[in-house]
A and B are shown apart, each in its own frame.
Chain A
Amino acid sequence: MVEAVEGVAVVLAVSLTESKAPFALSATAPAADATRVSIEVPVVPPAQDTAATPQPAIPAAPASPAPPAPSAETPAPLEARQPGLRALVIDPGHGGDDAGVHGPAEALEKQLTLEIARRLKGLIETRLGVRVVMTRDDDRAVTLDERDSIANNSKADLFISIHVNGSLASKVAGAEVYSMQLDREGEDAKRDAAASEVVLPTVGGGSRTINVIRWDLAQAPHVDASAAFASMLEEELRKHVPMGPLPLQQEPMRVLAGANMPAALVEVGYLTNPAQAKEIQSDNFQNLVAQALYDAVLRFRGYLETVQAR
Protein backbone atom coordinates (compact mmCIF):
# COMPACT_ATOMS: atom_id res chain seq x y z
CA MET A 1 0.00 0.00 0.00
CA VAL A 2 2.82 2.36 0.84
CA GLU A 3 6.10 1.96 -0.97
CA ALA A 4 9.30 2.69 0.83
CA VAL A 5 11.11 5.22 -1.27
CA GLU A 6 14.45 6.56 -0.16
CA GLY A 7 14.59 10.29 0.22
CA VAL A 8 10.92 10.83 -0.46
CA ALA A 9 8.36 12.02 2.06
CA VAL A 10 5.29 9.82 1.97
CA VAL A 11 2.15 11.49 3.24
CA LEU A 12 -1.08 9.62 3.77
CA ALA A 13 -4.59 10.94 3.57
CA VAL A 14 -6.95 8.85 5.66
CA SER A 15 -10.63 8.64 4.83
CA LEU A 16 -13.08 7.35 7.39
CA THR A 17 -15.80 5.36 5.75
CA GLU A 18 -17.87 4.22 8.68
CA SER A 19 -17.61 7.08 11.09
CA LYS A 20 -16.69 10.71 11.09
CA ALA A 21 -15.52 10.64 14.67
CA PRO A 22 -12.30 12.49 15.66
CA PHE A 23 -9.28 10.74 14.32
CA ALA A 24 -5.64 11.15 15.15
CA LEU A 25 -2.64 10.03 13.13
CA SER A 26 0.94 10.21 14.29
CA ALA A 27 4.19 9.18 12.69
CA THR A 28 7.48 8.48 14.40
CA ALA A 29 10.81 8.35 12.67
CA PRO A 30 13.56 6.53 14.59
CA ALA A 31 17.22 7.24 14.12
CA ALA A 32 18.32 9.45 11.27
CA ASP A 33 19.90 6.54 9.48
CA ALA A 34 16.88 4.29 9.87
CA THR A 35 15.23 2.94 6.77
CA ARG A 36 11.74 2.57 8.18
CA VAL A 37 9.16 4.94 9.55
CA SER A 38 6.39 3.58 11.72
CA ILE A 39 2.95 5.10 11.60
CA GLU A 40 0.63 4.70 14.54
CA VAL A 41 -3.08 5.08 14.01
CA PRO A 42 -4.84 5.48 17.36
CA VAL A 43 -8.52 4.75 17.02
CA VAL A 44 -11.16 6.20 19.30
CA PRO A 45 -14.80 5.13 19.63
CA PRO A 46 -17.25 6.85 17.33
CA ALA A 47 -18.84 9.91 18.87
CA GLN A 48 -22.41 9.36 20.01
CA ASP A 49 -23.45 12.83 19.01
CA THR A 50 -21.88 14.12 15.85
CA ALA A 51 -23.09 17.61 16.62
CA ALA A 52 -20.78 17.59 19.64
CA THR A 53 -17.73 16.86 17.50
CA PRO A 54 -14.99 19.37 18.31
CA GLN A 55 -14.50 21.80 15.49
CA PRO A 56 -11.29 23.50 14.47
CA ALA A 57 -11.06 27.19 15.08
CA ILE A 58 -12.84 29.10 12.37
CA PRO A 59 -11.45 32.50 11.53
CA ALA A 60 -13.86 35.23 12.45
CA ALA A 61 -15.96 36.53 9.62
CA PRO A 62 -15.04 40.08 8.68
CA ALA A 63 -17.28 42.94 9.71
CA SER A 64 -17.54 43.91 6.08
CA PRO A 65 -18.44 43.37 3.34
CA ALA A 66 -22.00 42.31 3.98
CA PRO A 67 -23.33 39.32 2.04
CA PRO A 68 -25.83 40.00 -0.71
CA ALA A 69 -29.55 39.67 -0.14
CA PRO A 70 -30.97 36.15 -0.52
CA SER A 71 -32.42 35.34 -3.90
CA ALA A 72 -35.97 34.10 -4.37
CA GLU A 73 -34.94 30.48 -4.85
CA THR A 74 -32.72 30.45 -1.78
CA PRO A 75 -34.14 28.59 1.22
CA ALA A 76 -34.49 30.14 4.64
CA PRO A 77 -31.59 29.88 7.09
CA LEU A 78 -31.28 26.49 8.72
CA GLU A 79 -30.34 26.02 12.31
CA ALA A 80 -29.43 22.36 12.29
CA ARG A 81 -26.60 20.90 10.29
CA GLN A 82 -27.85 19.11 7.25
CA PRO A 83 -26.92 15.57 6.31
CA GLY A 84 -24.64 15.33 3.34
CA LEU A 85 -22.84 18.63 3.64
CA ARG A 86 -21.61 19.43 7.10
CA ALA A 87 -18.38 21.33 6.50
CA LEU A 88 -16.97 23.26 3.57
CA VAL A 89 -13.48 24.60 2.98
CA ILE A 90 -13.00 27.86 1.11
CA ASP A 91 -9.51 28.42 -0.24
CA PRO A 92 -8.65 32.00 -1.22
CA GLY A 93 -5.86 31.54 -3.77
CA HIS A 94 -2.30 32.84 -3.22
CA GLY A 95 -1.39 35.19 -0.34
CA GLY A 96 1.66 36.68 1.36
CA ASP A 97 4.65 36.86 -0.97
CA ASP A 98 2.63 35.12 -3.66
CA ALA A 99 0.41 37.89 -4.98
CA GLY A 100 -0.89 35.86 -7.93
CA VAL A 101 -1.87 37.83 -11.02
CA HIS A 102 -1.13 41.56 -11.01
CA GLY A 103 -3.87 43.73 -12.49
CA PRO A 104 -3.99 47.40 -13.37
CA ALA A 105 -3.88 50.01 -10.60
CA GLU A 106 -2.10 47.59 -8.26
CA ALA A 107 -5.03 45.18 -8.14
CA LEU A 108 -3.73 41.87 -6.79
CA GLU A 109 -5.27 38.44 -7.18
CA LYS A 110 -4.49 37.48 -3.57
CA GLN A 111 -6.59 40.34 -2.20
CA LEU A 112 -9.55 39.77 -4.51
CA THR A 113 -9.71 36.05 -3.79
CA LEU A 114 -9.81 36.79 -0.07
CA GLU A 115 -12.59 39.35 -0.47
CA ILE A 116 -14.77 36.94 -2.48
CA ALA A 117 -14.02 34.08 -0.09
CA ARG A 118 -15.17 36.16 2.88
CA ARG A 119 -18.42 37.02 1.12
CA LEU A 120 -19.05 33.35 0.33
CA LYS A 121 -18.23 32.33 3.89
CA GLY A 122 -20.77 34.81 5.27
CA LEU A 123 -23.44 33.57 2.88
CA ILE A 124 -22.95 29.89 3.65
CA GLU A 125 -22.70 30.25 7.40
CA THR A 126 -25.77 32.44 7.74
CA ARG A 127 -28.00 30.73 5.23
CA LEU A 128 -26.92 27.10 5.10
CA GLY A 129 -25.80 26.50 8.64
CA VAL A 130 -22.77 24.68 7.30
CA ARG A 131 -19.43 24.92 9.05
CA VAL A 132 -16.96 26.90 6.93
CA VAL A 133 -13.19 26.68 7.23
CA MET A 134 -10.95 29.16 5.43
CA THR A 135 -7.43 28.12 4.43
CA ARG A 136 -6.41 31.70 5.14
CA ASP A 137 -8.30 34.75 6.37
CA ASP A 138 -5.57 37.35 6.02
CA ASP A 139 -2.66 38.16 3.75
CA ARG A 140 -0.38 35.27 4.57
CA ALA A 141 1.49 32.68 2.53
CA VAL A 142 -0.04 29.22 2.77
CA THR A 143 1.56 26.38 0.85
CA LEU A 144 -0.58 24.19 -1.34
CA ASP A 145 0.05 21.21 0.93
CA GLU A 146 -1.04 23.25 3.94
CA ARG A 147 -4.27 24.17 2.17
CA ASP A 148 -5.01 20.50 1.54
CA SER A 149 -4.00 19.66 5.08
CA ILE A 150 -6.43 22.21 6.51
CA ALA A 151 -9.19 20.77 4.34
CA ASN A 152 -8.48 17.14 5.15
CA ASN A 153 -8.02 17.69 8.86
CA SER A 154 -11.29 19.61 8.97
CA LYS A 155 -13.03 16.54 7.61
CA ALA A 156 -14.82 18.80 5.18
CA ASP A 157 -17.27 17.49 2.61
CA LEU A 158 -16.43 20.03 -0.08
CA PHE A 159 -13.47 22.17 -1.13
CA ILE A 160 -13.60 25.26 -3.30
CA SER A 161 -10.52 27.21 -4.35
CA ILE A 162 -11.05 30.78 -5.55
CA HIS A 163 -8.70 32.45 -8.04
CA VAL A 164 -8.53 35.29 -10.53
CA ASN A 165 -7.12 34.45 -13.95
CA GLY A 166 -4.49 35.99 -16.19
CA SER A 167 -3.94 35.91 -19.94
CA LEU A 168 -1.29 37.08 -22.37
CA ALA A 169 -4.09 38.71 -24.36
CA SER A 170 -5.79 41.61 -22.60
CA LYS A 171 -9.13 41.06 -24.35
CA VAL A 172 -9.81 37.70 -22.71
CA ALA A 173 -12.49 37.82 -20.01
CA GLY A 174 -14.84 35.50 -18.16
CA ALA A 175 -15.03 32.91 -15.44
CA GLU A 176 -13.70 29.36 -15.73
CA VAL A 177 -14.06 26.29 -13.53
CA TYR A 178 -11.57 23.46 -13.11
CA SER A 179 -11.84 20.01 -11.65
CA MET A 180 -9.10 17.43 -11.31
CA GLN A 181 -7.82 15.45 -14.27
CA LEU A 182 -6.23 12.16 -13.33
CA ASP A 183 -3.22 10.66 -15.02
CA ARG A 184 -2.75 6.90 -15.30
CA GLU A 185 -1.48 6.64 -11.72
CA GLY A 186 -4.48 8.58 -10.50
CA GLU A 187 -6.85 6.34 -12.42
CA ASP A 188 -5.22 3.32 -10.80
CA ALA A 189 -5.61 4.93 -7.39
CA LYS A 190 -9.26 5.64 -8.09
CA ARG A 191 -9.86 2.03 -9.10
CA ASP A 192 -7.94 0.66 -6.12
CA ALA A 193 -9.43 3.03 -3.53
CA ALA A 194 -12.06 0.56 -2.40
CA ALA A 195 -9.52 -2.26 -2.25
CA SER A 196 -7.27 -0.25 0.08
CA GLU A 197 -9.62 -0.51 3.03
CA VAL A 198 -8.05 -1.37 6.36
CA VAL A 199 -10.10 -2.70 9.27
CA LEU A 200 -8.85 -1.54 12.67
CA PRO A 201 -10.10 -2.49 16.15
CA THR A 202 -11.58 0.31 18.20
CA VAL A 203 -10.95 0.99 21.87
CA GLY A 204 -14.55 0.35 22.85
CA GLY A 205 -14.73 -2.90 20.91
CA GLY A 206 -15.77 -3.59 17.38
CA SER A 207 -13.87 -2.29 14.39
CA ARG A 208 -13.68 0.57 12.00
CA THR A 209 -12.82 0.61 8.32
CA ILE A 210 -10.55 3.27 6.93
CA ASN A 211 -9.26 3.95 3.43
CA VAL A 212 -5.60 4.73 3.03
CA ILE A 213 -4.46 6.61 -0.02
CA ARG A 214 -1.36 8.59 -0.93
CA TRP A 215 -1.73 12.29 -0.18
CA ASP A 216 -0.92 13.39 -3.73
CA LEU A 217 -3.63 11.05 -5.04
CA ALA A 218 -6.24 11.86 -2.39
CA GLN A 219 -8.53 13.48 -4.95
CA ALA A 220 -8.66 10.32 -7.10
CA PRO A 221 -11.72 8.69 -5.45
CA HIS A 222 -13.64 11.98 -5.68
CA VAL A 223 -13.09 13.01 -9.31
CA ASP A 224 -16.60 12.11 -10.44
CA ALA A 225 -18.25 14.08 -7.64
CA SER A 226 -15.79 16.92 -8.26
CA ALA A 227 -16.70 17.01 -11.95
CA ALA A 228 -20.38 17.16 -10.99
CA PHE A 229 -19.69 20.04 -8.61
CA ALA A 230 -17.64 21.85 -11.27
CA SER A 231 -20.57 21.55 -13.69
CA MET A 232 -22.89 23.06 -11.10
CA LEU A 233 -20.44 25.90 -10.49
CA GLU A 234 -20.22 26.61 -14.21
CA GLU A 235 -24.00 26.60 -14.61
CA GLU A 236 -24.57 28.90 -11.64
CA LEU A 237 -21.77 31.29 -12.56
CA ARG A 238 -23.17 31.53 -16.09
CA LYS A 239 -26.41 32.93 -14.64
CA HIS A 240 -24.59 35.81 -12.94
CA VAL A 241 -21.27 36.68 -14.63
CA PRO A 242 -19.65 36.39 -18.08
CA MET A 243 -17.99 33.06 -18.79
CA GLY A 244 -14.58 32.57 -20.39
CA PRO A 245 -13.80 30.83 -23.68
CA LEU A 246 -13.13 27.49 -21.92
CA PRO A 247 -15.61 27.65 -19.04
CA LEU A 248 -15.30 24.07 -17.78
CA GLN A 249 -12.04 22.16 -17.80
CA GLN A 250 -10.33 19.17 -16.24
CA GLU A 251 -6.66 19.73 -15.56
CA PRO A 252 -4.07 18.44 -13.07
CA MET A 253 -4.47 21.31 -10.61
CA ARG A 254 -2.08 21.02 -7.70
CA VAL A 255 -4.31 22.27 -4.88
CA LEU A 256 -7.11 19.89 -5.90
CA ALA A 257 -4.84 16.83 -6.07
CA GLY A 258 -4.45 16.47 -2.31
CA ALA A 259 -8.04 17.24 -1.30
CA ASN A 260 -9.67 14.13 0.11
CA MET A 261 -13.17 15.35 -0.81
CA PRO A 262 -15.01 16.70 -3.85
CA ALA A 263 -13.15 19.81 -4.95
CA ALA A 264 -13.10 22.45 -7.66
CA LEU A 265 -11.15 25.58 -8.54
CA VAL A 266 -12.88 28.70 -9.81
CA GLU A 267 -11.21 31.48 -11.79
CA VAL A 268 -13.79 34.24 -11.40
CA GLY A 269 -12.50 36.39 -14.26
CA TYR A 270 -9.40 37.85 -15.91
CA LEU A 271 -7.45 40.48 -14.01
CA THR A 272 -5.43 41.14 -17.17
CA ASN A 273 -8.52 42.53 -18.89
CA PRO A 274 -8.67 46.19 -17.77
CA ALA A 275 -12.46 46.42 -17.94
CA GLN A 276 -12.99 43.16 -16.10
CA ALA A 277 -10.30 44.00 -13.54
CA LYS A 278 -12.30 47.07 -12.59
CA GLU A 279 -15.44 44.98 -12.40
CA ILE A 280 -13.90 42.24 -10.25
CA GLN A 281 -12.96 44.83 -7.65
CA SER A 282 -16.55 46.03 -7.34
CA ASP A 283 -18.92 44.97 -4.55
CA ASN A 284 -21.57 44.08 -7.12
CA PHE A 285 -19.40 41.62 -9.04
CA GLN A 286 -18.03 40.00 -5.92
CA ASN A 287 -21.54 39.58 -4.52
CA LEU A 288 -22.71 38.03 -7.79
CA VAL A 289 -19.83 35.56 -7.75
CA ALA A 290 -20.44 34.70 -4.10
CA GLN A 291 -24.13 34.18 -4.86
CA ALA A 292 -23.32 31.88 -7.79
CA LEU A 293 -20.90 29.83 -5.71
CA TYR A 294 -23.44 29.63 -2.89
CA ASP A 295 -26.13 28.40 -5.30
CA ALA A 296 -23.77 25.72 -6.60
CA VAL A 297 -22.94 24.61 -3.04
CA LEU A 298 -26.65 24.40 -2.33
CA ARG A 299 -27.18 22.20 -5.39
CA PHE A 300 -24.23 20.03 -4.48
CA ARG A 301 -25.67 19.46 -1.02
CA GLY A 302 -28.68 17.88 -2.72
CA TYR A 303 -26.36 15.81 -4.91
CA LEU A 304 -24.51 14.52 -1.83
CA GLU A 305 -27.74 13.62 -0.07
CA THR A 306 -28.93 11.72 -3.15
CA VAL A 307 -25.68 9.81 -3.48
CA GLN A 308 -25.54 8.99 0.23
CA ALA A 309 -29.15 7.80 0.23
CA ARG A 310 -28.36 5.06 -2.31
Chain B
Amino acid sequence: MNIKRLLPIGVAVIAIGLAAWGASRILERVVSPVPTQSSVPAASAPAASVPHIIATLYYATEDGQTLAAVKREVPLAEGARAQGRQILEGQLAPAPEPYLSVIPPGTQLRAFYITERGDAFVDLSSEVSTAHPGGSTNELLTVHAIVNVVTANLATVQRVQILIDGKEADTLAGHVDLRRPFARQVLLARNP
Protein backbone atom coordinates (compact mmCIF):
# COMPACT_ATOMS: atom_id res chain seq x y z
CA MET B 1 0.00 0.00 0.00
CA ASN B 2 1.15 3.51 -0.70
CA ILE B 3 2.79 5.12 2.34
CA LYS B 4 1.57 8.57 1.30
CA ARG B 5 -2.03 7.29 1.44
CA LEU B 6 -1.56 5.54 4.82
CA LEU B 7 0.09 8.50 6.59
CA PRO B 8 -3.00 10.76 6.82
CA ILE B 9 -5.10 7.80 7.95
CA GLY B 10 -2.62 7.00 10.70
CA VAL B 11 -2.50 10.62 11.83
CA ALA B 12 -6.30 10.73 11.89
CA VAL B 13 -6.50 7.54 13.97
CA ILE B 14 -3.99 8.93 16.48
CA ALA B 15 -5.86 12.27 16.66
CA ILE B 16 -9.17 10.49 17.26
CA GLY B 17 -7.56 8.37 19.97
CA LEU B 18 -6.12 11.42 21.70
CA ALA B 19 -9.45 13.21 21.51
CA ALA B 20 -11.27 10.22 23.00
CA TRP B 21 -8.71 9.96 25.80
CA GLY B 22 -9.02 13.67 26.54
CA ALA B 23 -12.81 13.51 26.59
CA SER B 24 -12.75 10.55 28.97
CA ARG B 25 -10.43 12.43 31.33
CA ILE B 26 -12.76 15.43 31.34
CA LEU B 27 -15.72 13.20 32.12
CA GLU B 28 -13.77 11.59 34.91
CA ARG B 29 -13.24 14.98 36.54
CA VAL B 30 -16.92 15.87 36.34
CA VAL B 31 -18.14 12.58 37.78
CA SER B 32 -15.13 11.02 39.34
CA PRO B 33 -14.79 7.30 40.05
CA VAL B 34 -12.34 6.47 42.81
CA PRO B 35 -8.81 6.62 41.45
CA THR B 36 -6.54 3.79 42.48
CA GLN B 37 -3.75 6.17 43.51
CA SER B 38 -5.61 9.22 44.74
CA SER B 39 -4.19 12.02 46.87
CA VAL B 40 -7.72 12.47 48.26
CA PRO B 41 -8.61 9.24 50.05
CA ALA B 42 -12.14 7.95 50.28
CA ALA B 43 -13.93 8.42 53.59
CA SER B 44 -15.23 4.84 53.37
CA ALA B 45 -14.51 1.85 51.14
CA PRO B 46 -16.83 2.34 48.16
CA ALA B 47 -17.44 0.24 45.07
CA ALA B 48 -15.03 1.26 42.33
CA SER B 49 -17.83 1.93 39.87
CA VAL B 50 -19.67 4.45 42.07
CA PRO B 51 -19.03 8.07 41.10
CA HIS B 52 -17.72 10.29 43.84
CA ILE B 53 -17.39 13.91 44.85
CA ILE B 54 -14.77 15.53 47.02
CA ALA B 55 -16.18 16.75 50.33
CA THR B 56 -14.68 18.66 53.25
CA LEU B 57 -14.80 16.62 56.44
CA TYR B 58 -13.73 17.73 59.93
CA TYR B 59 -11.45 15.95 62.37
CA ALA B 60 -9.52 16.95 65.45
CA THR B 61 -5.90 17.83 64.94
CA GLU B 62 -3.25 15.76 66.74
CA ASP B 63 -3.19 18.21 69.63
CA GLY B 64 -6.91 17.63 70.17
CA GLN B 65 -7.65 21.36 70.26
CA THR B 66 -8.94 22.39 66.85
CA LEU B 67 -10.67 21.00 63.81
CA ALA B 68 -8.86 20.35 60.54
CA ALA B 69 -10.79 20.60 57.27
CA VAL B 70 -9.80 17.50 55.28
CA LYS B 71 -10.74 16.80 51.65
CA ARG B 72 -12.08 13.28 51.18
CA GLU B 73 -14.09 11.43 48.57
CA VAL B 74 -17.66 10.45 49.30
CA PRO B 75 -20.17 8.79 46.97
CA LEU B 76 -22.12 11.08 44.65
CA ALA B 77 -25.85 11.18 45.39
CA GLU B 78 -28.93 12.75 43.81
CA GLY B 79 -30.08 15.91 45.59
CA ALA B 80 -28.91 17.81 48.66
CA ARG B 81 -30.59 15.52 51.18
CA ALA B 82 -29.15 12.30 49.77
CA GLN B 83 -25.78 13.95 49.26
CA GLY B 84 -25.88 15.19 52.84
CA ARG B 85 -26.44 11.65 54.05
CA GLN B 86 -23.41 10.43 52.12
CA ILE B 87 -21.25 13.26 53.49
CA LEU B 88 -22.34 12.57 57.07
CA GLU B 89 -21.71 8.84 56.63
CA GLY B 90 -18.23 9.78 55.53
CA GLN B 91 -17.84 12.01 58.59
CA LEU B 92 -18.85 9.15 60.90
CA ALA B 93 -16.23 6.83 59.39
CA PRO B 94 -12.87 6.55 61.17
CA ALA B 95 -10.55 9.54 60.76
CA PRO B 96 -7.55 9.31 58.43
CA GLU B 97 -4.07 9.50 59.94
CA PRO B 98 -2.91 11.65 61.67
CA TYR B 99 -6.27 13.12 62.60
CA LEU B 100 -8.63 12.11 65.42
CA SER B 101 -12.32 11.41 65.03
CA VAL B 102 -14.53 13.64 67.17
CA ILE B 103 -17.63 11.47 66.73
CA PRO B 104 -17.88 8.66 69.30
CA PRO B 105 -17.40 5.19 67.78
CA GLY B 106 -20.62 3.32 67.10
CA THR B 107 -22.57 6.47 66.29
CA GLN B 108 -25.00 5.88 63.41
CA LEU B 109 -26.79 8.37 61.18
CA ARG B 110 -30.51 7.71 61.67
CA ALA B 111 -31.84 10.43 59.39
CA PHE B 112 -30.94 13.64 57.65
CA TYR B 113 -33.32 16.16 56.17
CA ILE B 114 -33.44 19.80 55.10
CA THR B 115 -36.42 22.11 55.38
CA GLU B 116 -37.38 24.67 52.76
CA ARG B 117 -35.98 27.38 55.04
CA GLY B 118 -32.56 25.79 54.89
CA ASP B 119 -32.63 24.22 58.35
CA ALA B 120 -30.89 20.86 58.36
CA PHE B 121 -31.56 18.18 60.97
CA VAL B 122 -28.91 15.59 61.72
CA ASP B 123 -30.45 12.68 63.62
CA LEU B 124 -27.80 10.53 65.28
CA SER B 125 -28.02 7.36 67.35
CA SER B 126 -27.66 7.56 71.12
CA GLU B 127 -23.98 6.54 71.03
CA VAL B 128 -23.11 10.13 70.12
CA SER B 129 -24.08 10.96 73.71
CA THR B 130 -23.65 7.74 75.71
CA ALA B 131 -20.20 6.99 74.29
CA HIS B 132 -19.00 10.57 74.38
CA PRO B 133 -15.79 11.03 76.40
CA GLY B 134 -17.04 14.32 77.90
CA GLY B 135 -15.36 17.62 78.62
CA SER B 136 -16.25 20.98 77.08
CA THR B 137 -13.41 20.79 74.56
CA ASN B 138 -14.37 17.37 73.23
CA GLU B 139 -18.03 18.26 73.13
CA LEU B 140 -17.45 21.52 71.27
CA LEU B 141 -15.31 19.72 68.70
CA THR B 142 -18.04 17.13 68.11
CA VAL B 143 -20.77 19.73 67.69
CA HIS B 144 -18.62 21.99 65.52
CA ALA B 145 -17.61 19.12 63.27
CA ILE B 146 -21.20 18.04 62.65
CA VAL B 147 -22.39 21.58 61.97
CA ASN B 148 -19.37 22.42 59.82
CA VAL B 149 -19.53 19.30 57.69
CA VAL B 150 -23.13 20.06 56.71
CA THR B 151 -22.80 23.80 56.16
CA ALA B 152 -19.44 23.63 54.38
CA ASN B 153 -20.62 21.09 51.83
CA LEU B 154 -24.28 21.98 51.28
CA ALA B 155 -24.69 25.58 50.22
CA THR B 156 -28.47 25.60 50.75
CA VAL B 157 -28.17 24.84 54.48
CA GLN B 158 -28.29 27.88 56.74
CA ARG B 159 -28.65 26.25 60.15
CA VAL B 160 -28.07 22.80 61.61
CA GLN B 161 -29.81 21.11 64.53
CA ILE B 162 -28.55 17.89 66.07
CA LEU B 163 -31.13 15.32 67.19
CA ILE B 164 -30.46 12.18 69.21
CA ASP B 165 -32.65 9.14 68.54
CA GLY B 166 -35.10 11.35 66.70
CA LYS B 167 -35.62 13.79 69.55
CA GLU B 168 -34.36 17.22 70.47
CA ALA B 169 -31.55 16.95 72.99
CA ASP B 170 -30.19 19.24 75.70
CA THR B 171 -26.53 18.43 75.21
CA LEU B 172 -24.25 15.60 74.12
CA ALA B 173 -22.36 15.40 77.42
CA GLY B 174 -23.62 18.20 79.65
CA HIS B 175 -22.08 21.32 78.12
CA VAL B 176 -23.06 22.60 74.67
CA ASP B 177 -26.66 23.71 74.19
CA LEU B 178 -28.32 21.68 71.41
CA ARG B 179 -31.86 22.96 71.88
CA ARG B 180 -31.68 25.42 69.02
CA PRO B 181 -30.10 25.10 65.57
CA PHE B 182 -26.62 26.44 64.98
CA ALA B 183 -26.07 29.05 62.29
CA ARG B 184 -23.18 28.36 59.96
CA GLN B 185 -21.10 31.41 60.75
CA VAL B 186 -21.18 30.77 64.49
CA LEU B 187 -19.09 27.66 64.50
CA LEU B 188 -16.35 28.27 61.99
CA ALA B 189 -14.04 29.89 64.53
CA ARG B 190 -12.50 26.62 65.58
CA ASN B 191 -11.30 25.80 62.11
CA PRO B 192 -7.51 25.90 61.78
Give the B-binding residues of A (Cβ under 8 A): 93-94, 98, 100-102, 109, 144, 163-169, 171-172, 176, 178, 181, 183-185, 216, 244-246, 251-255, 257, 265, 267, 270-272
Contacts and interface: CB of A to CB of B under 8 A. Distances in A.
A96 B55 CA distance: 41
Given A168-B100, A254-B176, A101 B134 contact: yes
Contact of B134 (A144, A166, A245, A254): A166
A169 B177 contact: no
A93 B174 contact: yes
Given A172-B137, A181-B186, A267-B136, A100 B65 contact: no
B172 to A, nearest CB: 10
Contact of A254 (B60, B177, B182, B186): B177
B179 interface: yes
Contacts of A176: 136-137
Contacts of B135: 100-101, 109, 163-167, 267, 270-272
B63 A166 contact: no
B28 interface: no
B170 A251 contact: no
B147 to A, nearest CB: 11
Contacts of A253: 136, 175-177
Given A167-B65, A254-B171, A267-B136, 11 more contacts: A163-B136, A167-B137, A167-B138, A168-B102, A169-B63, A171-B63, A176-B136, A183-B182, A252-B177, A255-B174, A257-B177
B157 interface: no
Contacts, number: 103
13 contacts: A100-B173, A102-B134, A163-B175, A164-B135, A165-B137, A166-B135, A167-B137, A169-B60, A169-B62, A216-B177, A246-B137, A265-B175, A267-B137
Contacts of A163: 135-136, 175
Contacts of A101: 133-135
Main DSSP-derived SS at the B contact region: loop
A163 B135 CA distance: 8
Given A167-B135, A251-B176, A172 B170 contact: no
A43 to B, nearest CB: 31
A172 B174 contact: no
B113 to A, nearest CB: 19
B122 to A, nearest CB: 16
B170 A144 contact: yes
A216 B179 contact: yes
Interface in B55-112: 60, 62-65, 100, 102
A267 B134 CA distance: 12
B177 A172 contact: no
Contacts of B141: 168
Contacts of A245: 63, 65
A100 B134 CA distance: 6
Interface in B158-185: 170-171, 173-180, 182-183
Highest count of chain B CB atoms <10 Å: which of A164, A178, A246: A246
A257 B134 CA distance: 19
Interface in B121-163: 133-138, 140-141
B153 to A, nearest CB: 22
Nearest to B178: A254
Contacts of B136: 163, 165, 176, 178, 251, 253, 265, 267
A205 to B, nearest CB: 41
Contacts of B179: 216, 254
Nearest to A171: B63
A168 B64 contact: yes
